[in-house]
Amino acid sequence: MCQSCGKGHKDLHVDLKQIKLKEKIDAYRGEAGSLIPVLQEAQDIYGYLPEETMKMVAKEMKIPVAEVFGVATFYSQFRFTPTGRNVIRVCMGTACHVRGGLKVLKALERELDIKAGETTGDGKFTLETVACIGACGLAPVISINNKVFGNLTSEMVPGILEKFE
Amino acid sequence: MQTLAYPCCEKCNHTASTPCRDYIKCRVEGPLCHDDPDCKQKRQDFLAKMYDPEGLTKQILICTGTGCVSSGSQRLIELVREELVKRNLDETVRVRSTGCHGFCEQGPIVIIEPDKTFYTKVKPSDITEIIETDIVGGNKVDRLLYRDPVSGESAVTYETVNFYAKQNRIILNNCGQINPERISQYMAKKGYQALEKVLQTMKPEEVIEEVKKAGLRGRGGAGFPTWLKWNLCRKAQGDKKYVICNADEGDPGAFMDRSVLEGDPHAVIEGMLIGAYAIGADEGYVYCRAEYPLAIERLKIAISQAEKNGLLGKNILNSGFNFHLKIKAGAGAFVCGEETALIASIEGKRGMPKVRPPYPAEKGLWGKPTNINNVETWANVPHILRNGADWYCQFGTPKSKGTKIFALTGKVNNTGLVEVPMGISLREIIFDIGGGIKGNHTFKAVQIGGPSGGCIPEELLDLPVDFDSLSEVGAMIGSGGLVILDDTTCMVDIARFFLTFTQKESCGKCTPCREGTKRMLEILTRITKGEGKPEDLENLETLAGVIKKTSLCGLGQTSPNPVLATLRYFREEYEIHIREKRCPAHACTALLQYHIDNEKCKRCGVCAKNCPVGCIFGDKNNPYEIDSQNCIQCHTCIDKCKFKAITVS
């Protein structure tokens, strides 16, 4: 079965994600400095940056593959492995640090049995740390799928995780 | 929907593309192109309906900044709307979503106008009571009013809340008052009148002169005079020039730029328009960090509204001035806050700083003269041009004019955004506005300026906060993050925290920054583990000196500051870690040992039940004990014990 479109054909492989990305690249064509926005679009489509996709971006945009890799690996927003269904970002900002952000991170690591940067075996959660979410008034905070949870204690962690499928 | 741009009658045939001299002002105070009391009334009625509380019995303002949204304010808006419809009040009472009020910890914040009633921490279940008691009954819901942490008294209006009463909100004034997604509300607050004045009556040189007279200095960190930057760029050779708004607010602990973009995006756009006109630029970028999705969204809406109203694009207000504005989303790199790295990032490259000179003012984006200011600096510009430099100069000190927004966070009672005149003392900010230290703890230090700044101890709290006094004591205003530290914060740990950050964010171009911060971090980590050596402090100072002198950009040059400042004022704490292998603040977990006091222990077993690693043993007959080999110092047992039987040493 075709992995991309879910249909039962074998030979005529149509990669819908690739088509979508090509459309995006076409929209940026001719605009200077568009590599980063294109990579952001690619990550939105795939959830991460597969090696093949970066090669395709390089070819389409006529930029050396090495440069695409160089740019992608420089910025912390880009990932190179698939994420879980829910992405947890733990804020490591100063306000969160002094108000016990590390304890929240440790509680998440314990609860999910993974370290920061890893994904759970069942693909449910990816745990990441970020420099600052900018919700310092509510420290310590985490965000799950961009929804912010504030004023946390380690005891609140299991209850929050329960809400996610 | 009718907008402010509509003509009042056939006599007013001015549009944004064929504006009269006072087109913007005319929309708000007008009409000015012809004299007709009826038309004037029509405009005023429209304004009143749109913005002014008059004509409506009450307005309910609900904050939709990131802080309040995460505390559930979106749901409140829906509930209030439903409730008003249910009671047939939706014609006379208006619900408005606003930008950030800056008092995020008390969120979601709900304000009732025109009474200025200030409700805090409002929950969905409170809505019926607010409508019933306040909107219908005209009484206050006492339990939702803000209670002062020091006096214990409740404040009815936001004007009487100490947190606001002692501030001087100019830049933040619109935030929390207007709907940031409606350009007409910004215009009703005299928005874009500065642009109109500049385009109709001032030469570019006069604009720069006014900014010079106002003494505006960059709010992004270094405090470089804004007019000088503009002038250099204006005088640079080339017919194509750019202006950039640096919204890559990366300092952990600072979020004022996010709030301004979310709460008053048009002020930034207007500032950039004025700057572009003064410099002679026709294209601009806002470089915003990707971690701020709401700010990017609001900015997109604001740009498209400004374009529709003829305030961005070609021949703005028929003045011949063209300006196009685009948004570039960052991709998560702290170093991109540095201007040459930011430019590289817009160009689609790795965001690594370049050697200056040439400065961006001569050779910036795509090799063209470019002027970069940060969000708060741009937001200051319309105020200066609209009210004049003399008005602006009444705030602040002779060398640091105007106000500055600080993000007050950490172990302080009132956390949030605070806008104060330059020159105010740290003590006033922390104790008067911030309401003092949280809980039964004592003040230890204030960390100012993020990873480039330093820690200021209690004895220096009366220092005026301006660009120059702070740098004399080894700190800097930086982006304006103020993190309050109390007796439970370890200064070695704080230094290590910042160095972990800069070490991770170092782009790797310069060896001293790349390798030096790593070596310093290794030493600090050793000290916090109780493995420090007597020569460590000297080594730290030597390394810090080399990194400061030999790094290319601000990130490297200032990265040792948190270590140097803590060494300067809290050297003893370092020495105790090294000499006695203990952490006086009980923060360095590797140096902590947990004990159960058998006399206080009631053998209830709660600690053992909650211990995540199961290292507490005992039962009704045998005293409980902690296996310190397996203990992960998570503090859970202490938090859970009702009898305070567990101690740390």
3 state SS of B595: strand
CATH of the domain at B504: 1.20.1440.230
Q: How many CA atoms lie within 13 A of B519 on its CB side?
A: 16
Query: Of B393, B419, B451, at which residue does a domain stop?
Result: B393
Q: Do A137 and B507 touch (CB under 8 A)?
A: no
CATH number of the domain enclosing B616:
3.30.70.20
Structure confidence by residue, pLDDT tens digits, A73-130: 999 889 999 999 999 999 988 889 888 899 899 999 999 999 999 999 999 999 999 8
Q: Check whether residue B499 and residue B461 sit in a common domain.
A: no
- Nearest of B159, B167, B150, B72 to residue B117 by alpha carbon: B159
pLDDT number for residue B53: 47
Q: Chain B residue closest to A76 (CA)?
A: B332
Give this complex's ipTM: 0.86
pLDDT for the residue numbered B630:
86
| Interface touch A77/B332, C-beta < 8 Å | yes
* B476 and B621 inside one domain: no
Residue B99 contacts residue B262 (beta carbons within 8 Å):
yes
| Same domain, residue pair B566 and B438 | no
Q: Cα angle vertex B236, ends B390, B310, to 5°?
A: 65
Surface of A (56-95) touching B: CB under 8 A: 70-71, 74-78, 92-95
pLDDT at B51: 56
Looking up residue B213, the CATH number of its domain turns out to be: 3.40.50.11540
Using DSSP's 3-state secondary structure scheme, residue B10 falls into coil
What pLDDT does residue A7 have?
57
Question: Measured between CA atoms, how close is B37 to chain A, in angstroms?
Answer: 48
The pair of three-digit structure tokens given for residue B612, joined into one six-digit string: 């995540």
Smallest CA–CA separation between A3 and chain B, in Å? 29
Domain boundary, last residue among B341, B370, B393:
B393
Eight-class DSSP state of B553: S
CB-based burial label for B604 (10 Å; 0-12, 13-18, 19+): middle
Q: Does residue B490 contact residue B576 with C-beta atoms inside 8 Å?
A: no
Give the mean pLDDT per block of 10 residues along chain B (649 residues).
Answer: 65 74 77 78 73 65 85 90 90 85 88 91 93 91 89 88 91 89 88 93 96 94 92 95 94 88 96 98 95 91 93 91 96 92 96 94 96 97 97 94 93 91 94 90 92 91 90 83 92 93 93 96 95 95 96 93 94 95 89 88 90 88 88 84 87
User: For residues A152 and B452, what is the distance between their CA atoms, to the nearest angstrom?
Assistant: 28
Residue numbers of B between 150 and 169 with CB closer than 8 Å to A: none
Residue B1's pLDDT is 42
Among chain B residues, CA nearest to A99? B410
The confidence score (pLDDT) of residue B9 equals 74
Reduced to 3 states (helix: H, G, I; strand: E, B; else coil), residue B254 is coil
For chain B, the domain total comes to 5
Neighbours of B624 (CB within 10 A): 22
- Chain B nearest C-alpha distance from A14 (Å): 30
Alpha-carbon distance B443 to nearest alpha carbon in chain A (angstroms):
13
Beta strands in B20-116 (DSSP E): 58-63, 93-98, 110-113
Same domain, B572 and B596: no
Contacts of A32 in chain B (CB under 8 A): 347-348, 366
Q: Are the Cβ atoms of B450 and A110 closer than 8 angstroms?
A: no
Token representation of residue A70:
């160089």
Between these two residues, A34 and A1, which has the higher pLDDT value? A34
Q: Is residue B177 part of a domain?
A: no
Q: Which amino acid is at B597?
A: D
Residue A158 sits at the chain B interface (C-beta within 8 Å): no
| Facing A132 at nearest CB: one of B253, B345, B366 | B253
Residues of A in contact with B350 (CB under 8 A): 70-71, 74
Contact B253 A94 (CB under 8 A): yes
Domain extents for chain A? 16-74, 86-162
**DSSP tag of B396:** B
- Cα B429 from Cα B443, distance rounded (Å): 13
Domain that holds residue B306: 190-393
Architecture of domain A86-162 in CATH? Answer: 3-Layer(aba) Sandwich (3.40)
- Chain A residues lying within 8 Å of B107, measured CB to CB: 137-138
Q: Which residues contact B394 (CB under 8 A, 6 or more apart)?
A: none
Buried b (16+ CB within 10 A) or exposed e, B69-107: bbbebeebbebbeebbeeeebeeebbbbbbbbbbbbbbb
Task: Report yes or no: A103 and B635 within 8 Å, Cβ to Cβ.
Answer: yes
User: Other C-beta atoms within 10 Å of B511: how many?
Assistant: 12
**Secondary structure (H, E, C), B409-466:** EECECCCEEEEEECCCEHHHHHHHHCCCECCCCCEEEEEECHHHCEEEEHHHCCCECC
Measured between beta carbons, which residues in chain A are less than 8 angstroms from residue B64? none
**Distance to chain A for B441, nearest Cα, Å:** 13
* Contact across the interface for A137 and B328, Cβ inside 8 Å: no
Residue A45 has pLDDT above 80, yes or no: yes
How confident is the model over A125-136, as pLDDT tens digits? 999 998 888 788
List the 227-266 stretch of B: residues with Cβ below 8 A of A: 249-255, 258
Question: Are B473 and B504 within one domain?
Answer: no
pLDDT of residue B60: 92
Same domain, B250 and B384: yes
Residues B239, B380 within the same domain: yes
Peptide bond into B19 cis (omega under 30): no
Both tokens assigned to B126:
């409170």
Closest alpha carbon within chain A to B438: A99
List the single residue in B with minimal CA-CA distance to A155. Answer: B636
Question: Kind and range of the H or E element at B594?
Answer: strand B594-596
Give the nearest partner residue to B345 out of A34, A36, A153, using CB atoms.
Answer: A36
A133-153: pLDDT as tens digits: 878 888 899 999 888 898 898
The verdict on a CB contact (< 8 Å) between A71 and B350 is: yes
Domain match, B252 and B385 both: yes
CB of B348 less than 8 A from some CB of A: yes
Residue contacts between A and B (CB atoms, under 8 Å): 154
Q: Output the pLDDT for position B55.
A: 54
Return the closest-CA partner of residue A95 out of B419, B251, B162: B251
Would strands B93-98 and B154-155 be described as parallel, antiparallel, or unpaired? unpaired
Cβ of residue B346 closer than 8 Å to a chain A Cβ = yes
Q: A31, A76, A96, A98: best mutation site toward chain B, by most B Cβ within 10 Å?
A: A98
Asked whether residue B528 falls in the same domain as residue B430, the answer is no
Q: Of the candidates B452, B473, B489, which is a domain's last residue? A: B489
Chain B residues 410-469 with a CB less than 8 Å from chain A: 410-411, 415-416, 447, 450
* Whole-Å CA distances, B420 to B19, B63, B168, B260, B466: 38, 22, 5, 15, 11
CB B336 within 8 A of CB B287: yes
CA B623 from centre of chain: 51
Identify whether B174 is part of a domain.
no
Helices (H) and strands (E) in chain B, counts: 27, 19
In a shared domain, residues B326 and B213: yes
Looking at B166-255, list the stretches that DSSP marks H as alpha helix, in order from N- to C-terminal side.
Answer: 183-188, 193-201, 204-214, 226-235
Chosen for mutation from B262, B291, B479, B482 (greatest number of chain A CBs closer than 10 Å) is: B291
Put simply, the answer to whether A131 touches B250 (Cβ < 8 Å) is: yes
With contacts defined as CB-CB under 8 Å, which chain B residues touch A156? none
Q: In chain B, which residues have their Cβ closer than 8 Å to the Cβ of A130?
A: 291, 332
Judged by CB atoms closer than 8 Å, whether chains meet at A131 and B411 is answered as no
B297 touches chain A (CB under 8 A): no
Q: From the list A40, A77, A93, which residue is nearest B252 (CB)?
A: A93
Residues B324 and B417 in one domain: no
Angle at A40 between CA A36 and CA A46, to 5 degrees: 140
A135:B70 CB<8 A: yes
- In angstroms, rounded to a whole number, what is the distance separating the alpha carbons of residues B405 and B477? 10
Chain B 110-149, residues with CB within 8 Å of chain A CB atoms: none
Note whether B203 and B288 are same-domain residues.
yes
CA distance A26 to chain B (A): 16
Backbone angles phi, psi at B556, to 5 degrees: -70, -45
CB contact under 8 A, B70 and A141: yes
Q: Is residue B41 part of a domain?
A: no
CA distances from B95 to B3, B71, B80, B194, B318 (A): 19, 18, 7, 29, 36
What single string gives the DSSP state of each residue in B313-353? BSSGGGSS--BEEEEEE--S-GGGGSHHHHHHHHTTS----
Helix, strand, or coil here: B155?
strand
Please write down the HEC assignment for all residues of chain A: CCCCCCCCCCCCCCCHHHHHHHHHHHHHCCCCCCHHHHHHHHHHHHCCCCHHHHHHHHHHHCCCHHHHHHHHHHCCCCCCCCCCCEEEEEECCHHHHHCCHHHHHHHHHHHHCCCCCCECCCCCEEEEEECCCCCHHHCCCEEECCEEECCCCHHHHHHHHHCCC
Using CB atoms, pick whichever of A70, A99, A147 lies closest to residue B70: A147
Distance from CA of A38 to the nearest CA of B (A): 10
